[in-house]
């Protein structure tokens, strides 16, 4: 059975505010997707639905042809990487890696340690004491090393400098070639990352306005709707 994602007429409302409007979307497995849109377009809301952080107001979400919300078997295979507030975190880097490993069936500890070296992360330092850039590098380390069938990076590069972002981009491609899975990258740094994408989904005002292979989109000379 394929591990694809199907959204059928999804809408999300927060009070009177409608974050997503009647979205139907099919994301095939084992592709790298770029999710693009201005701030407030609904990107993070859409990704939080895929990660079962929130429920839709209307419509249905199926992953691997099964309802995903509160489905432990499905959610163990979905990693959601986003900017995290670690101010209250009491673990050291090594301890947090070990914690994540317990909950991710495909977690590769050796690969995690390789990434720790790549990003110059101090294993024995407390996570709460790391710089913002190092915390971002730790987040993407955990996401990549989890090797989940669906891995979502929501503006995961926040805090990284340009050389570190480039290391991250190269690792996304290299590890995807070794272990194909569905990777979704939400970004506004399109010019840096467009070579990663196989397909692009563009949101505007809570609606999908484009879903196309990146090469076709670039051939058309489409303008990316970013700030």
Q: How far apart are the first and last CA of the chain?
A: 39
Per residue of the chain (227 residues), give pLDDT as tens. Answer: 578 999 999 999 999 999 999 999 999 999 999 999 888 899 999 999 999 999 999 999 999 999 988 888 899 999 999 989 999 999 999 999 999 999 999 999 999 999 999 999 999 999 999 999 999 999 999 999 999 999 999 988 888 999 999 999 999 999 999 999 999 999 877 788 889 999 999 999 999 999 999 888 877 765 554 44
**Verdict on whether the full-model pTM lies above 0.75:** yes
HSE value, Cβ hemisphere, 13 Å, CA-based, for 40: 4
pLDDT score for 161 = 94
* Domain count of the fold of the chain: 1
The answer as to whether 87 is a domain residue is: yes
The answer as to whether 4 is a domain residue is: no
The answer as to whether 96 is a domain residue is: yes
pLDDT score for 227 = 44
Give the CATH number for residue 197. Answer: 3.40.50.300
The answer as to whether 113 is a domain residue is: yes
Radius of gyration for the chain, computed over Cα atoms and rounded to the nearest angstrom: 17
From the number of C-beta atoms within 10 Å of its C-beta (0-12, 13-18, 19+), residue 18 rates as middle
pLDDT score for 1 = 54
The answer as to whether 122 is a domain residue is: yes
pLDDT score for 221 = 65
CA–CA separation, 40 and 154 (whole Å): 14
The answer as to whether 67 is a domain residue is: no
The answer as to whether 51 is a domain residue is: no
The answer as to whether 2 is a domain residue is: no
From the number of C-beta atoms within 10 Å of its C-beta (0-12, 13-18, 19+), residue 178 rates as exposed
Range of the domain at 162: 30-42+76-220
């Amino acid at each position: 059975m394929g591990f694809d994602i199907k959204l059928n007429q999804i809408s999300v409302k927060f009070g009177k505010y409608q974050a997503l409007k009647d979205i139907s979307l099919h994301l095939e497995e084992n592709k790298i997707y770029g999710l693009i849109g201005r701030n407030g377009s609904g990107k993070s809301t859409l990704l939080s639905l895929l990660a079962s952080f929130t429920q839709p107001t209307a419509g249905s979400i199926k992953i691997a042809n099964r309802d995903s919300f509160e489905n432990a078997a499905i959610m163990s295979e979905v990693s959601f990487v986003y900017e995290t507030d670690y101010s209250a975190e009491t673990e050291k880097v090594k301890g947090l890696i070990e914690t994540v490993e317990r909950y991710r069936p495909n977690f590769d500890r050796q690969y995690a340690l390789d990434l720790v070296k790549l990003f110059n992360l101090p294993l024995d330092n407390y996570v709460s004491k790391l710089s913002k850039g190092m915390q971002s590098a730790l987040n993407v380390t955990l996401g990549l090393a989890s090797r989940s069938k669906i891995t979502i990076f929501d503006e995961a590069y926040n805090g990284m400098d340009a050389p570190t972002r480039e290391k991250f981009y190269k690792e996304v491609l290299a590890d995807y070639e070794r272990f194909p899975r569905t990777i979704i990258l939400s970004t506004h740094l399109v010019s840096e990352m467009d070579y990663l994408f196989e397909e692009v989904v563009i949101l505007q005002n809570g609606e999908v306005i484009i879903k196309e292979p990146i090469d076709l989109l670039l051939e058309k000379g489409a303008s990316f709707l970013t700030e």
